[in-house]
């Protein structure tokens, strides 16, 4: 048994330090196909019609019509579609995948997809709050009455990119009548549960494997569930290995970020001690909720920082 003060060598330190660690993008399989996403060009619009180009042999379109189960990324709230069907609710929302053996051909096919829209008014302000939390500790009214002064500060934060070293990526393949998903992700059971819902399948039809993760910082908790469901639907349809890897530009454009926030903190002070604190936190969750409720609750719980406030 090791003493708690003794340094313990990480199991993966050698391969990472020597550059020998295998990441998702390093994995190659025979007959592997590649996928790229067709995305919305508008923030808010109805989809009137989608015209796909003629596909060469060995190339495929994967969209909402290929989903055997629910067209929903099942996380906590069921509000985010896997592929947009009747409308889009944010810029660059996924509409379909184009899958095939040559990346250059896929890029050209994606550029030839024509989507007819009826553009609608988008909302960019903090509105229609659907998740609310209220936490109390102690008697804040008593703290306010006993305080000899109050201090209030207001803060705003913008979108923050996690900027993990390795972009979002996942590989799916069909083996022994099971879909395997290997990816750079933090929460494999989030992905597994989302895929089970999308494919309307038994648990043992899906196996999710977290590969070496080149950084995440919270950025690979939620988003891999969207990628995983898209890829699982594609593998279920095509039955071949498929790689879906984002280049850095796409990753920064389309993935979820740390939430913009508006925060008001009021401290009730007596004899230069903070005897009470009131926190009001609002977060911009974007078009869909995802894990925003979890983030909001943690922001509230942590609003006193490292201090104990009675």
- Give the tens place of pLDDT for each residue, 132-148: 999 999 999 999 999 99
Say if CB 239 and CB 233 are below 8 A apart.
no
Q: So what's the pLDDT on residue 121?
A: 96
Task: Provide, rounded to the nearest whole percent, the portion of the chain with pLDDT above 90.
Answer: 89
pLDDT band at 2 (very low <50, low <70, confident <90, very high): low
pLDDT in tens, 174-211: 999 999 999 999 999 999 999 999 999 999 999 999 99
Q: Max Cα separation, the chain? A: 78
| pLDDT over threshold 80, residue 128 | no
Residue 153 CB burial class (10 angstroms; 0-12, 13-18, ≥19)? exposed
For residues 147 and 268, what is the distance between their CA atoms, to the nearest angstrom?
5
**Measured distance CA(149)–CA(161) in Å, rounded:** 38
Task: List, in order, residues 6 or more apart from 176 with CB less than 8 Å away.
Answer: none
Per-residue pLDDT tens digits for 94-117: 999 999 999 999 999 999 999 999
Looking at residue 127, its pLDDT comes to 78
Residue labelled with tokens 């995305």:
39
Task: Give kind and range of the element (H or E) at residue 223.
Answer: helix 223-238
Percent of the chain at pLDDT exceeding 70? 99
Question: What pLDDT, on the 0 to 100 scale, is given for residue 197?
Answer: 98
Query: What per-residue confidence (pLDDT) applies to 10?
Result: 87
Do the beta carbons of residue 171 and residue 242 sit within 8 Å? yes
The pTM for the full model equals 0.92
Residue 21 pLDDT greater than 70, yes or no: yes
Nearest to 48 by CA among 86, 84, 92: 86
Name, of 5-14, 95-104, 295-304, the range with top average pLDDT.
Answer: 95-104
Report d(CA 105, CA 103) in Å as an integer: 5
Classify residue 56 by its DSSP letter: P
pLDDT at 3 over 90: no
Q: What is the model's pLDDT at position 11?
A: 87
How high is the pLDDT of residue 1? 61
Q: What is the DSSP-derived secondary structure letter of residue 233?
A: H
Rounded distance between C-alpha atoms, residue 284 and residue 287, angstroms:
9
């Amino acid at each position: 048994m090791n003493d708690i003060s003794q340094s313990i060598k990480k199991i993966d330190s050698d391969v990472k330090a020597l550059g020998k660690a295998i990441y998702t993008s390093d994995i190659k399989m025979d007959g592997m196909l590649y996928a790229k996403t067709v995305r919305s060009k508008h923030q808010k619009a109805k989809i009137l019609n989608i015209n796909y180009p003629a596909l060469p042999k060995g190339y495929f379109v994967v969209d909402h019509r290929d989903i055997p189960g629910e067209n929903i990324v099942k996380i906590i709230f069921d509000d985010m579609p896997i592929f947009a069907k009747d409308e889009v609710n944010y810029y660059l929302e996924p509409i379909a995948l184009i899958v095939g053996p040559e990346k250059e051909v896929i890029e050209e096919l994606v550029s030839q997809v024509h989507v007819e829209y009826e553009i609608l008014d988008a909302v960019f302000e903090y509105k229609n709050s659907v998740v609310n939390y209220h936490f109390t500790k102690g008697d804040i009214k008593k703290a306010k009455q006993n305080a000899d002064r109050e201090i209030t500060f207001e803060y705003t934060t913008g979108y923050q990119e996690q900027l993990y070293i390795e972009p979002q990526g996942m590989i799916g393949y069909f083996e022994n009548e099971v879909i395997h998903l290997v990816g750079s992700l933090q929460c494999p059971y989030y992905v597994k549960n989302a895929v089970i819902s999308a494919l309307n399948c038994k648990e043992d039809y899906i196996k999710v494997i977290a590969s070496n993760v080149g950084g995440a910082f919270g950025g690979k908790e939620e988003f891999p569930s969207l990628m995983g469901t898209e890829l699982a639907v594609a593998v279920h349809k095509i039955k071949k290995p498929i790689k879906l890897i984002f280049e850095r530009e796409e990753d920064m454009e389309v993935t979820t970020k740390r939430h913009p926030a508006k925060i008001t903190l009021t401290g009730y002070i007596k004899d230069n001690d903070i005897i009470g604190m009131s926190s009001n936190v609002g977060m911009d969750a974007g078009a869909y909720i995802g894990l925003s409720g979890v983030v909001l609750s943690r922001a509230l719980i942590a609003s006193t920082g490292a201090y104990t406030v009675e």
